[in-house]
Amino acid sequence: MHPRLTLRDDIRQSRPFRNLAEEATLSVVRTFTLIRRAVAAVVEPAGITPAQYNVLRILRGAGPAGLPTLTVRDRMVDEAPGITRLIDKLELAGFVRRERAVPDRRQVFCTITPKGLALLKRLDLARTLFCVISKSGTTVETLAQYALVRTAIERDHRQPAKHLAFVTGPEAGPLRDIATRDKIPTFDIPTNVGGRFSVLTPVGTLPAAFAGFDTSALLAGAREMRDRCAGGDLATNPAGVFAIHQWRSHTKAAQCIHVMMSYADALRDIPPWFVQLWAESLGKVDADGRAVGPTPVAARGATDQHSQLQLYMEGPADKTVAFLVERERRADLKLPAGAALAPPISHLKGHTLGELLDAEQRATADALASVGRPSLTIGLDVCDAHHVGALIMLLMKATIYAGALYRVNPLDQPGVELGKRLAREALASPKRSTSDSRWTV
């Protein structure tokens, strides 16, 4: 985008924007489009796609040990349903190699080859932009990585303002000071929004735009859910229902472990985020000075149905399970009616993989109910940006309601701040330790 052009000039729009929110959203989407084109321009001359570059980057980080194929898929920045075909092409080009694990021949490990490493090294830094995110501007892990990136940019005699974008708080801080000094593009995180609640600010929407998500629809869905959860009628307030179910199960039935289990691949990252949201917001000292708070657990169906369900069924009755499901799948695979299947699974003929997953989720919920273990299900009509935005808002509103029920402030994190301070002190005095050396291995 030419710096002398306004956004309206750049997208050739004659009418004024309806409001600042529309202009900001279009600006983020336009920025994403330009950066995505730049990323493609970097990697495509090397004979790979942006998705294949992401695979190589993940495997480089894994080192000589490599990673299982499905782990590579789970670590992708963007959804990659055809991960096997993606790696097939990389292997054919000599950028990766695959080997079956010795203990378990069903597991295939991928490693990056010297040719793949050389390709990554060759990619042009001149066409790369790094997004640095820290509300306070003092997050040590983020600043450490920024320092490495900045060194590489300057070593290559590049202008930082053309290769960096910051997302940080509007007040003074290290990143804000650097941005002002070096004229680095910066997006604000609202002062009154904590990190775990910031997914609908530029912390989440800018990377989402880079990845091709419809951020306008994401925010519209969130707004609709916000309004839906604002009323006093519990029957029409899904966030209130979720919060009361979890709180009452904990305080009245000692069910203090709250499992969130996704049965939709598109929602696989929601449970890990919920773990931080629920734990960091509710694990506090309440108004009476008591330590309170549930323990959230992330799970993924149907994988963890085979690894955790035994505990949930016959272990201590101290858990609730919240299922995330997708009611309508836009893409699915159907087993042919004439498929040659072994007798134990012949009943799957003519069904889709989505139908199998849905049946497993319903069976899991029924099994839990049969032994008196509580669960609830949150269903999305379809996993698109609008409905994901609504789900994100539902869980954030539920966290606020739960804070009131547990009588804690869900918006602060004094325990985390103490850990950060002690980490800074440990770096300043590396020999200082409170550990008992007798139990150090």
pLDDT 10s digits, 229-258: 998 888 899 999 999 999 999 999 999 999
Average confidence (pLDDT) over 129-148: 86
Q: Which pLDDT band holds residue 292 (cuts at 50, 70, 90)?
A: very high
Kindly list the structural domains of the chain, giving each domain's residue range(s) and its CATH number in brackets, ordered by start: 47-122 (1.10.10.10), 129-213 (3.40.50.10490), 215-336+348-416 (3.40.50.10490)
Q: Is residue 277 over pLDDT 50?
A: yes
Q: Which residue has the higher pLDDT, 94 or 342?
A: 94
Q: Tell me phi and psi for residue 86, to 5 degrees.
A: -60, -45
DSSP-derived letter for residue 408 is S
Asked if residue 135 lies in contact with residue 195, where contact means CB atoms within 8 angstroms, the answer is: yes
Q: Rounded to 10 degrees, what is the CA torsion of 308, 313, 317, 322?
A: 60
Q: Where are the strands (E) in 158-253, listed by range?
A: 164-168, 186-188
Q: Which residues are catalytic?
A: 280, 306, 420
Q: Half-sphere exposure of 228 toward its Cβ, with a 13 Å CA cutoff?
A: 18
Residue 125's pLDDT is 74
Residue 21's pLDDT is 73
Average confidence (pLDDT) over 16-39: 69
Lowest mean pLDDT among 13-17, 176-180, 285-289: 13-17
Residue 6's pLDDT is 62
Residue 280's pLDDT is 95
* Percent with pLDDT over 70 in the chain: 85
**331, two tokens:** 């893409």
Q: Which residue has the higher pLDDT, 48 or 248?
A: 248
Residue 382's pLDDT is 93
pTM of the prediction?
A: 0.70
- 334-351 pLDDT, tens digit each: 777 766 666 766 677 777
Average confidence (pLDDT) over 282-308: 94
- Give the sign of the dihedral formed by CA 41, CA 43, CA 46, CA 51: negative
Greatest CA separation for the chain: 74
Distance between CA 72 and CA 315 in Å, rounded? 32
* Percent with pLDDT over 90 in the chain: 47
In terms of Cα–Cα distance, which of 349, 352, 311 is closest to 329? 352
Cis ω for the linkage preceding 80 (within 30 of 0): no
Asked if residue 113 lies in contact with residue 97, where contact means CB atoms within 8 angstroms, the answer is: yes
Residue 336's pLDDT is 73
Asked if residue 66 lies in contact with residue 79, where contact means CB atoms within 8 angstroms, the answer is: no
3-state secondary structure of 262: strand
Residue 253's pLDDT is 96
Q: Which residue has the higher pLDDT, 36 or 363?
A: 363
Q: Tell me phi and psi for residue 99, to 5 degrees.
A: -140, 145
**236, two tokens:** 């029409």
- Give the sign of the dihedral formed by CA 7, CA 206, CA 378, CA 390: negative
Distance between CA 9 and CA 13 in Å, rounded? 6
